[in-house]
Each structure stands twice: as structure tokens, then as C-alpha cells.
Amino acid sequence: MDPVPAIAMEGLTKVYPTGQRALDALDLEVKEGEFLVLVGPSGCGKTTALRLVAGLEEPTGGVLRIGDRDVTHLPPKDRDVAMVFQHYALYPHMTIEANMAFPLRTRRLPKAAVRAKVLEVARLLDLEPVLGRKPAQLSGGQRQRVAMGRAIVREPAVFLMDEPLSNLDAKLRVQMRAELLRLQRRLGTATLYVTHDQVEAMTMGDRVAVLRGGVLQQCDTPHALYQRPANLFVADFLGTPAMNLFRAQLAEDGQRLRLGSQQLPLPPEVLATRPALAPYRGRTVAVGIRPEHLALGATGAPVTLRAEVALVEALGAEQLVHFTLDAPAQPVEGRADPHGEGPAPLHLEQTGATGTARVGPDEAVRV
Ligand code: ATP
């Protein structure tokens, strides 16, 4: 038998009194020790899902379990969860020590035990030197750590985090991502983490659940989501720059794509791994190619796609090459690979405007 998950949502549904169906029959499990990220565009229902697990909202349908307990109708304090918010919700007039001790106060623990626990967690988070300060005297990163610390002292069964890094500047955010993950690994506490940032989701999640319009689209490891998106929404949502998507006809023999005047033979690995293509012979299909699988001017590539270079954006270590396919005119963005390598590189041969985009930090680009 499978071990009991830390959180189990079964058909979890929330229809607000306004009639807004924010969450529609969500089935999702967070395993023991897992870091699961819930991601999706604004308004897709991720905060609602988190608030339902925390007990801050009542579901209008479904069942919620934490460990082996049905907590669907329990108040937040009886759920054994700790939440970390985007706005750290620290008490401005209290010291850091008092802020961190706050969740333990209601437990009527001896003062010495509270202090020992706060010190232990402060040490873990490198907050010992600032325990006597007020929140306003800390940096953004430190405040974020205090918010984490306040969740950790409670030793909850699960952490719930709602965009906890979104108030930090870009550099600190990247640093805190790694810090937060290390901490979660060390504590081994199951974590449900909400973000709208797909890069954060992909870099942090053991698994990532993609929501859209209150409906779960796919839940899998970042690698599986990237390699095998379940639908066009997931394909387009994950990846920077986004996957190139365009329409083409699958030839009757099922071996080639017709794209305007061009014929693209499907690489053997695509044919081998997409038996589901068979029913689409002779029909228009959506084709998705990740930018990193397009190599500009690569020799020996299995497939050549003719395109016109519209724009080259230099981003430092790499360059983004925007193309327009000849006919029908469809703008397609491609990221050039420096060495023309990749699982199935497509050779982009230029027509019209000439362009060279050998990519590398010291190399020039001529367009
Ligand atoms: P964001 O990333 O913008 O925070 P989200 O994915 O977290 O969005 P939710 O806040 O869960 O989305 O909202 C889901 C939907 O439910 C939205 O359409 C929102 O307008 C609606 N909604 C949220 N809270 C309420 C409420 N209290 N009453 C009515 N509708 C609500």
C-alpha cells in the first residue's frame, strides 16, 4: 500500500458566493517530505487552494486530508499547518525573538522551552544576531527568514507558502530559493508552495501542479512537464522563451509535416515516441519546438527549416533569434544554440535577410 500522503485533496471545489468557481474538483496529493509547487497564471485558483488547505476558506465540495485525518471542516488551529505569506505578516512592534516565539505562546510551554526552541531555529536561519531587533530594522531577506522561522518553530506537519519570495529583488529571490529548498530538505516537512513564476516552480518543485481556470492541467516532475506537456497550455506556460507553436499539416504517410511550401521529415525519435500521431494523418496539427532545439546554421542537423531572421537579441551568454517562417507567415522565436547541439536540432537556413548567430560571450553577430 502507498504511504499516507501529507496532504490529500479529493475533488476539492470552491465556488465563491459571487458564483466564481475558483477551484474545480481538484485532486492533488503532496507526499511526505515533498516540495510541491502549485503554479498558474493570475486568477487560476492557486491561492484559493492554499487557503482551503490552511482552513482560511471553506470548500463548497470535496474532501481534504492532512496525514490520516479528515480536516475538511476543522478550524485552522487544529490542522497542524504553518503558513508563510507573501507579506510576511510580522508584528512591527515586537522584537524578532517575540515574533518567532509568538506561535508557541498559545501552547503554554515553559518560557525556557520557548526560548530554547526560538534560539535553535534562529541558529538554523542565521538570525541569532538580530533577535533583539524590530522587523523594520531587518533586510527583506532577513524578514523573509523570520517569517519562515515563525513557521518552523511550530514543527507543523506541512508548510503552506504563498509566493513567499515575491517581495524580494531578483537577485535575492534566486538566493533565497536555494536557501529555502535546503531548509525544507533538512527539515523534511511536506510543503505546498504557490507561485505564478514558472521558473521558480521548475527550479524548486519536486513536482509541479499547473492550474488554469481552477482546473488542474497536469502534475508531474519539472522534467516530465517540460518534455511531455499534457496540452498546449502547459507546453506554452513552461519555458523561457516559450515554446514555438505553429500549425502544420501532418502528411498522409504520417512521416512528414507540411509547413507552407516546406516539408519537414519527422525525426525518428519523434516518430518512435508519438504513436498517438497516427489518427492525425492528413490533418492540421499544432507543432511545438522548444527554442533550444533550433540551431542556427547547424550542419548535419536531421531537419532543415527555412526562415527569415527578423531580429537578434543579445542577452549576454546567449542570444535570442526571432524568425519568420516563409509561408504561411508565422512569427516564430528561436533561441540559437551555440554549437548546434541538442536532442533534435532543426537546422534553420536563412532566406531573405542574411543572419549569422554563432552564439558565445565573445562572438559578434551580424544581421
Ligand atoms: P493571483 O496569482 O492573482 O493571486 P490566484 O491564482 O491565486 O491568483 P485566486 O486568488 O485563488 O487566484 O482566485 C481565483 C478566482 O477566484 C479569481 O477569479 C478571483 O477573482 C476569485 N476570487 C478569489 N477570492 C475571492 C473571493 N473572496 N470572493 C469572490 N471571488 C474570489
Query: Comparing 233 with 288, which gets the higher pLDDT?
Result: 233
Residue whose CA is closest, atom 16 of ligand 1? 22
User: What is the reported pLDDT for 176?
Assistant: 86
46 CB within 6 A, ligand 1: yes
pLDDT tens for 335-366 read 555 444 433 334 444 433 222 232 322 222 22
Q: Find which of 17-21, 290-294, 357-361 is predicted with most confidence, using mean pLDDT.
A: 17-21
Residue whose CA is closest, atom 5 of ligand 1? 43
Same domain for 167 and 280, yes or no, is: no
Same domain for 26 and 105, yes or no, is: yes
227 CB within 6 A, ligand 1: no
Q: Measured from the CA of 44, which atom of ligand 1 is nearest?
A: 6
Confidence check: pLDDT of 102 > 80: yes
166 CB within 6 A, ligand 1: no
Specify if 33 maps to a domain: yes
The average pLDDT across 275-290 equals: 82
Specify if 1 maps to a domain: no
- Residue in 13, 15, 16 to alter for ligand 1 test, most ligand atoms within 8 A of Cβ: 16
User: What is the reported pLDDT for 6?
Assistant: 97
User: What is the reported pLDDT for 331?
Assistant: 57
What is the amino acid identity at position 29? E
User: What is the reported pLDDT for 90?
Assistant: 87
User: What is the reported pLDDT for 228?
Assistant: 86
Specify if 17 maps to a domain: yes
Residue 363 makes CB contacts below 8 A (sequence gap 6+) with none
Residue whose CA is closest, atom 31 of ligand 1? 16
Here the CATH number for the domain that contains residue 225 is 3.40.50.300
Same domain for 72 and 214, yes or no, is: yes
User: What is the reported pLDDT for 56?
Assistant: 94
Same domain for 199 and 137, yes or no, is: yes
- Residue in 44, 161, 162, 237 to alter for ligand 1 test, most ligand atoms within 8 A of Cβ: 44
Same domain for 194 and 254, yes or no, is: no
Residue 304 φ then ψ, to 5°: -115, 130
User: What is the reported pLDDT for 361?
Assistant: 28
Indicate the average pLDDT of the chain. Answer: 83
Q: Residue 19 C-alpha to ligand 1 middle, in angstroms?
A: 12
User: What is the reported pLDDT for 61?
Assistant: 97
What is the amino acid identity at position 18? T
Closest to 40 (Cα-Cα) out of 52, 50, 31, 32: 50
Confidence check: pLDDT of 329 > 50: yes
User: What is the reported pLDDT for 347?
Assistant: 44
The average pLDDT across 93-109 equals: 89
Q: What is the pTM of this model?
A: 0.86
User: What is the reported pLDDT for 184?
Assistant: 94
User: What is the reported pLDDT for 341?
Assistant: 40
Same domain for 161 and 142, yes or no, is: yes
What is the grid cell recorded at 288?
511545438
User: What is the reported pLDDT for 349?
Assistant: 45
Same domain for 197 and 223, yes or no, is: yes
Lowest mean pLDDT among 16-30, 148-162, 275-289: 275-289
- Inter-CA distances, 6 with 11, 46, 80, 215, 289, Å: 17, 18, 11, 21, 37
User: What is the reported pLDDT for 332?
Assistant: 57
Closest to 262 (Cα-Cα) out of 275, 273, 276, 251: 251
**Total structural domains in the chain?**
2
User: What is the reported pLDDT for 110?
Assistant: 87
Same domain for 72 and 152, yes or no, is: yes
Lowest mean pLDDT among 86-100, 173-187, 273-287, 328-342: 328-342
Residue ending a domain, among 237, 254, 287, is 237
Residue ending a domain, among 209, 237, 265, is 237
Specify if 358 maps to a domain: no
- Residue in 47, 50, 161 to alter for ligand 1 test, most ligand atoms within 8 A of Cβ: 47
User: What is the reported pLDDT for 23?
Assistant: 97
pLDDT tens for 53-81 read 999 999 999 999 999 999 999 999 899 99
Specify if 131 maps to a domain: yes
User: What is the reported pLDDT for 334?
Assistant: 57
Rounded-to-integer distance, Cα 76 and Cα 52, Å: 10
Structural domain harbouring 320: 244-350
Residue 69 makes CB contacts below 8 A (sequence gap 6+) with none
Specify if 119 maps to a domain: yes
Contact in structure between 293 and 321 (CB atoms under 8 Å) = no
The average pLDDT across 284-300 equals: 75
Q: What's the complex ipTM? A: 0.96
Query: Comparing 351 with 132, which gets the higher pLDDT?
Result: 132
Same domain for 188 and 280, yes or no, is: no
Specify if 364 maps to a domain: no
Among residues of the chain, what percentage have pLDDT more than 70?
86
Same domain for 158 and 292, yes or no, is: no
Same domain for 315 and 343, yes or no, is: yes
pLDDT tens for 179-222 read 889 989 999 999 999 999 999 999 999 999 999 999 999 999 99
Confidence check: pLDDT of 107 > 90: no
